[in-house]
Amino acid sequence: MTEKQINTRLDSTSNYKKLSIQISLNGLSFCIVDTIDNTVLLSKTTVFDTEVTPLELEKELLTQFVAQNIPSQQFSEVIVTHRNTLFCFVPKAIFVEEEMSNYLKYNTKVLVTDLIAYDEVENYEMINVFVPFVNINNYIYDLFGEFTFKHSSSVITASLLNNNSGKDVTCYVYASENQMDITVISKKRLLLFNSFEYTTTEDFLYYLLFTCEQLNLDPETLQLRLFGDIEEESAIYKGCYEHFNNAAIYVPDHTTFHLGDYTTKNIDFTLLNAL
């Protein structure tokens, strides 16, 4: 599969359900949403003890889908969000599709056989070039036909920019499955987005403080908002609170959807915001 959009084969009776999937080598999650009353019908998250290979990830996704009877269902839309560190933001004004591998080579090792794709962050004149998990895309295509795939950094950036209304510089940190995504926004303008893999609280704080140093941001005045796999009683939050005067938990707005028995703690941020 080499295209982001593939011809569909959908049943008209499925036109009210959407399936959103997020995948990474550290875990996966998916949810089903009823678009008639915007209700979350199902949400599942799996975190791996150790990082897996793309093939092992595919096998785990298959196992999870079979357990929830996903392959027998049909959906009006299927969205796959790839979460990895193989991406690079490029200003739309200078973006050339034929040069995508050159944009990425400064951030990560790109193989000749890699499929390279891109998202456009609408309304913000940015292009996100990334490497998706091709075997996952092929598996989803075999199951459902048409689907859309994105990179998690595109989803996170667009959502935070759209919902940011403060005049002060705000640093958002989204943590999940040993990966932290740092988004720095000032007056609805993206100053930085970067992603790091971390293991300990010390790793987390190092990358965060290093980012502040590079952008000349003062921890005493910076608005720091933490979300994802972080709670106020966690070691990471307590460590951040010691270094930042204005640290707080960020609660994303999911009022578009009725969560039912689920909460924002057990539904991944990108699952709903990718829809």
Quote the CATH superfamily of domain 165-249. Protein of unknown function DUF3822, C-terminal domain (3.30.420.260)
pTM given for the model: 0.89
Structure confidence by residue, pLDDT tens digits, 137-148: 999 999 999 899
Asked whether the domain spanning 165-249 has the same topology as the one spanning 12-87+98-157+254-273, the reply is yes
Is pLDDT above 60 for 84? yes
In 3D, which of 140, 130, 132 has the Cα closest to residue 54? 132
Fold (CATH) for 12-87+98-157+254-273 = Nucleotidyltransferase; domain 5 (3.30.420)
Under the banding of pLDDT at 50, 70 and 90, the label for residue 178 is confident
Is pLDDT above 50 for 1? no
Under the banding of pLDDT at 50, 70 and 90, the label for residue 105 is confident
CB count, 10 Å around CB of 193? 21
Looking at residue 110, its pLDDT comes to: 80
Is pLDDT above 70 for 213? yes
Looking at residue 221, its pLDDT comes to: 93
Structure confidence by residue, pLDDT tens digits, 55-76: 999 999 999 999 999 999 999 9
Looking at residue 93, its pLDDT comes to: 96
Length of the chain, please? 275
d(CA 21, CA 199): 24
- Higher pLDDT pick, 206 / 231: 206
- What are the boundaries of each domain within the chain? 12-87+98-157+254-273, 165-249
d(CA 217, CA 169): 9
- Higher pLDDT pick, 193 / 262: 193
